[in-house]
Amino acid sequence: MAYQEDIALMAHLMRRAGFGAGRDELEARVAKGYQATVEELLHPETQPAVDDYTLLRYQPAALLPGGQPPMGNVNIMYHLVNTKRPLEEKMALFWHHVFATGNSKVDNYDQLLSQIGLFRERGMGDYRALLLTIARNPTMIFWLDNNENHGTAVNENWGRELLELFSLGVGAYTEKDVREASRAFTGWTFETKIPRLPYGRFPWKFEYRPEDHDDGEKEFLGHRGRFNGEDIIDIVVEQPACARFVCRHLYNFFVADEPQVPAWSIEAPRDQKAIDTLTAAFRQSRFDIRSVLRVLFNSSFFKEARFKHLKSPAEVVVGSLRFVGGQELPRPGYGDLSMQPAYMGQDLLNPPSVEGWHTGPEWINSGSLMARINFVASLVGDPSLPGVRAIIDRLKSKGSLSPEQLVDGCLDLLGPVEVSAETRQELVAQAKEWGQTGWASETSAKTADKRVGEMLQLIVATREYQFA
């Protein structure tokens, strides 16, 4: 039982810090140890990077995809499916949700992919440095109109979102602070880029124009001076509200679902003690995200939070594709595959607004639920896929299975997935209609393969399976 508990805990870690893992990988990771696995995840540089060249050999249009889907989605999905550095990709998705920037306005997947690359590279590093980098990121500058923020005509879009959605949260600043922060970022813009016709896209480059910067005195969050943008970020990261805000985001993404961000100023966190623990790590480490994640993944509040997080569409799609296997190389139709999260409500590289996506139960509606179930069921019901075959082979090694054994075996190897007694009873009732499942003869083996696939399909259609 202790070993089974280790497997369940490792499966939990890999679902949250990655995109899940098959049984072979879980067993190898248990042998390596929980803490060692956490350290490996926290240090992606110890694992090989995704081979971009192979993607470009088959799908050259994925490098500079322009403004039309799905080639940008092909690029990000290829990374998500093939990465050996799952937490690096998870953090890229995390920051993509926090610093949400979308193709609906940017009309340029190249720039959005470049921003994702930045999150991969810096997502577990110094939050202050990341905030400064994103303030200089031309994609963000265009998205939030800072190229229209002039010394003589202030545009508050970036200044406001910096405080409201990227660092402090509503209630921790005043309208005057927004104005003053915006003044400090005047002149932060980008060079005119070479236009897309006739040879395709070229990137933006950050440019600081001192002649367009308002160098006057500003008063910001109780500080007074002739602040530039970097000074504003230095003041922001020292605010207690900043630590609370960033850590609540991390808790919501990795531990358990919180209310939507706009409600954070009126609704207390579900676990204030956990937030306090993360906040302390954030401040003690001087904004080092890796240190906060180390505390998070090793905490009891994380280990006890199994199935308290509703899977995002990206987690559903990527987790399923990695689990069943055979999806590593691009192929015709990879574009449609890459758009699956969008069909479930999470259009990667194109969030609905600067607020990112609404998470938790808001992922689910009648349409998105059907899209989730149909997508996953289509994969786990295919015994030719390596991950499904691996489950069948493990069950087969146990000999003839009773209905209860079939249900419990499938639940175990698909997660382990924890379901209510009522759900299990319904699954067993279905299995009983099939009788014993065995692989003794060629005919029964064919039927048994089919039965396993159908049982997996039933499980992925349960309420419980939507949680991670």
Q: What residues make contact with other proteins under the rule CB under 8 A? A: 52-53, 56-61, 63-65, 68, 70-71, 74, 110, 113-114, 117, 191-200, 202-203, 205, 331-336
Helices (H) and strands (E) in the chain, counts: 25, 4
Q: Which is nearer to other proteins, 74 or 388 (CB)?
A: 74
Distant-in-sequence, close-in-space partners of 397: CB < 8 Å, separation ≥ 6: none
* CB 118 to other proteins: min, Å: 10
* CB 153 to other proteins: min, Å: 20
Return the structure tokens found at 58: 């088959």
Q: Which is nearer to other proteins, 212 or 215 (CB)?
A: 212
CA 360 to chain centre: 13
d(CA 168, CA 132): 15
Handedness of CA 325, 331, 337, 338 (dihedral sign): positive
Closest by alpha carbon to 162, among 245, 282, 247? 245
Q: Which is nearer to other proteins, 20 or 330 (CB)?
A: 330
Closest by alpha carbon to 388, among 399, 380, 396? 380
Show the CA angle centred on residue 36, arms to residues 35 and 41, nearest 5°.
Answer: 95
**Does the bond joining 386 to the residue before it have cis omega, within 30 degrees of 0?**
no
Closest by alpha carbon to 315, among 227, 253, 226? 253
Return the structure tokens found at 327: 């999806």
Distant-in-sequence, close-in-space partners of 293: CB < 8 Å, separation ≥ 6: 42, 87, 124, 250, 254
Closest by alpha carbon to 187, among 202, 207, 173, 203? 207
d(CA 44, CA 49): 8
Q: What is the largest CA-CA distance in the chain?
A: 85
Give SS3 for 213: coil
Q: Which is nearer to other proteins, 335 or 356 (CB)?
A: 335
Return the structure tokens found at 230: 């970097």
List C-alpha distances in Å: 57 to 52, 63, 317: 9, 10, 24
* CB 352 to other proteins: min, Å: 23
d(CA 310, CA 16): 11
Q: Which is nearer to other proteins, 194 or 440 (CB)?
A: 194
Q: Which is nearer to other proteins, 60 or 361 (CB)?
A: 60
Q: Which is nearer to other proteins, 59 or 462 (CB)?
A: 59
* CB 197 to other proteins: min, Å: 4
Assign residue 440 a region (left: φ > 0; alpha: ψ between -120 and 50; beta: otherwise). Answer: alpha
* CB 106 to other proteins: min, Å: 16
Q: Which is nearer to other proteins, 192 or 300 (CB)?
A: 192
* CB 187 to other proteins: min, Å: 17
Q: Which is nearer to other proteins, 66 or 262 (CB)?
A: 66
* CB 198 to other proteins: min, Å: 4
Q: Which is nearer to other proteins, 179 or 201 (CB)?
A: 201
* CB 334 to other proteins: min, Å: 6
* CB 332 to other proteins: min, Å: 5
* CB 110 to other proteins: min, Å: 8
Distance in Å from the first CA to the final CA of the chain = 21
